[in-house]
Chain A
Amino acid sequence: MVVKALAAGAIGLALGIAASGSILADPPFGAVTIGAWRVFTKAGSLEADPYTRAALSRSGEIPLALGEGLKLVARVDSAGRPLDRRCLYRVGTHTPAARYWTLSLTDADGYSVENAAGRYGFRSSEILRDGDGGFSIYVSALVHAGNWLPIGHVRTFALALRLYDTPLAASAGGIEKSSLPTIEREGCA
């Protein structure tokens, strides 16, 4: 009986710690999913839930305040398939209203990935646009004409879209899916 109770306690302890590690890597609450994008509207605010708070402490991220802007992260394409370095993606053609936006590529933990072109992201103020003001960013390991965002040597990657000084900040829950850029998979090697 005592042995069984101790065993249950030990297994429970191990399970509890193991589960916490993986759950805090991707906190379960507070995220809104809009198409391919996920946004933690309360991340870094005083009202964040305990999971989001613990995840922030562990990652060391310095969060943006809602009044400064919003960060949205995509780990899948618009069809819901995980982003794959063997594929070519076209991201576009517009974003929600913001004074500036940036689109950057990171590894799964949010760090830039080394690439020969030294290109880690695009700013709204430097991007090549088409005739009607839309844009296309090509995310690919292979060189691509136009706005090419190289994938670099990494197994899994994420795309981060940041909207600076956006009227959305106050109502992040109300972002229209159609206002966000889509991530279309154009083909895979």
Chain B
Amino acid sequence: MSVTARLGGATLFVAAVAATAALIHFAVVLLVPIVATHDAYARLADLGSPGATTSLPRAGPDERRFPWDDPALAAAFCRFDLSAGPVRVKAPVGRAGFASLSFHTRRGAVFYALTDRAVTHGRMEAVIATPAQLRQLVAHDDEDDPSQDLRVVSPTVQGFVIMRAFSELPSLYAAAADEVKALACVTEPPPS
């Protein structure tokens, strides 16, 4: 075998390795969110059943489920499932300090968020709906007395809502933790 033929064979081999590696790498990156069994939603599913409001464990050295959680914030969550109808989310806010709601898809991405700057009647409130449910809701609206609801379309049928409340001092953490417990996520009857 000549030197050039050997070199050509080696180059081809390296190119084949690189091409396979690149292909596998892209496949892994695209598949990870779909096959991940330990993503945020799965970790939350271990803690609370759908529709129920559950407090998130406070960030600390003994808590290794949700990385980058802030020990200064109390948080609670509910998982939602829109297959039985839209879900109304209510979060009373009556405390000094920052509070917020974030709405996440099944994969964890945020599709909507509200802060306590949007408080009306002492609470943050929104209705989560699928695109089809939103069309139904709009079709049933009274033209003369339109609904005041904030309607948010979820890209996925399942997902979760997180309520966060900031504690201005360590001693105020308990009050923030109490506030987030009042988060409520209730399936609405379909419009009739």
- Tell me if B109 and A48 are in contact (CB < 8 A): yes
Q: A16-B20, A46-B105 are in contact. Are A106 and B68 (CB under 8 A)?
A: yes
Number of A-B contacts (CB under 8 A): 188
- Tell me if A110 and B17 are in contact (CB < 8 A): no
Q: Which residues of B contact A65 (CB under 8 A)?
A: 100, 102, 110, 112-113
Docked CA distance A164–B59 (Å): 17
Docked CA distance A106–B141 (Å): 50
- Tell me if A20 and B29 are in contact (CB < 8 A): yes
- Tell me if A120 and B60 are in contact (CB < 8 A): yes
Q: Which residues of B contact A160 (CB under 8 A)?
A: 68, 70
For the residues of B in contact with A, the DSSP-based class is mixed
Q: Which residues of A contact B17 (CB under 8 A)?
A: 8, 11-12, 15
Residues in B lying within 8 Å of A, measured CB to CB: 9, 13, 16-25, 27-30, 32-33, 36, 38-40, 42-43, 59-72, 75, 97-98, 100, 102, 104-105, 107-115, 117, 155, 162, 164, 166-170
Residues in A lying within 8 Å of B, measured CB to CB: 4-5, 7-9, 11-13, 15-17, 19-20, 23-24, 44-46, 48, 50-51, 53-54, 56-68, 71, 73, 99-100, 102, 104, 106, 109-115, 120-121, 123, 125-126, 152, 160, 162, 164-165
Q: In the complex, given contacts A16-B24, A111-B63, what are 16 additional A-B residue pairs having Cβ atoms less than 8 angstroms apart? A: A12-B16, A16-B28, A24-B32, A57-B33, A58-B38, A60-B65, A61-B40, A62-B69, A63-B108, A67-B114, A68-B115, A68-B164, A110-B67, A123-B166, A125-B169, A126-B168
